[in-house]
Structure 1
Amino acid sequence: MTKLNIIAFDGTRFEIDAADGSTVMENAVRNSVPGIEAECGGACACATCHVYVDEAWTDAVGAPSAMEEDMLDFAVDVQPNSRLSCQIKVTPALDGLVVKVPERQG
C-alpha cells in the first residue's frame, strides 16, 4: 500500500492507504474527501477532480498529458502544479504524496 495525503480546502488532512495501480481520484472518492466531485468517474472528461500537487512531489508525479492539459482549461484557479487526480496513478514511488484540493471545482 502507498500512503497518500490529501488536504481538503478547509485544511482537513486525509491519510489514505492506497492500492498501487489505483488513482488518487479513486482513493479520494472512496474516502469521501470533500471537493473531489469526479463527475466523469475518472475518464479525463471533466475537471472536477482538480488538485494541486505539493511542490516537493511535482517531479515524481510528472507533467500532465496533452489530453489532461486540455481538460485543465476547464478547471478553476489552475496553477503550474495543477493536475487532475484521475490521471495520477498510485505507485510505490508516490508513497507519502501530498495533494491539496482547491476551494472549488470547475
Structure 2
Amino acid sequence: MSGFKRISPADAKVILEQGNAKVADIRDVMSFQAGHIRDAIRVDNDNLPEFMAAASKELPLLVCCYHGNSSQGAAQFFSEQGFSDVYSIDGGYEMWKMVAPDWCNR
C-alpha cells in the first residue's frame, strides 16, 4: 500500500480495540500531558529515530494531531518510510475526546 488512509475516531477506536495498533501523537508536550489517546506515544523530531526503530512497520499506525490536519502530513511521511498500514485520525484529539472519552488519558 502506498500513502495513508483517513479514518474517523470511531473507526480508529475499533482498530485500537483489536489490540495491535500504535498511536503516534504529534502534538506538543503540554497538549499531550493534558490528555491523549490511551497508550499513545508522543512523537517529535527528537524521538522520531527511536520510534521508527521500535515500531513494527506491518502493524496499524494511527497518527493523531490537534484537529486532523497536521497528522495527514505525518501519516504520509510514515507511509513513505515503509509503514504499510497508516491512518490519519480525522478531527484529531479534539474530536477523539468527544467520540471516545473512555480511551483518553488525562
Q: TM-score, normalised by structure 1?
A: 0.32
More helix by share: 2
Q: TM-score, normalised by structure 2?
A: 0.32
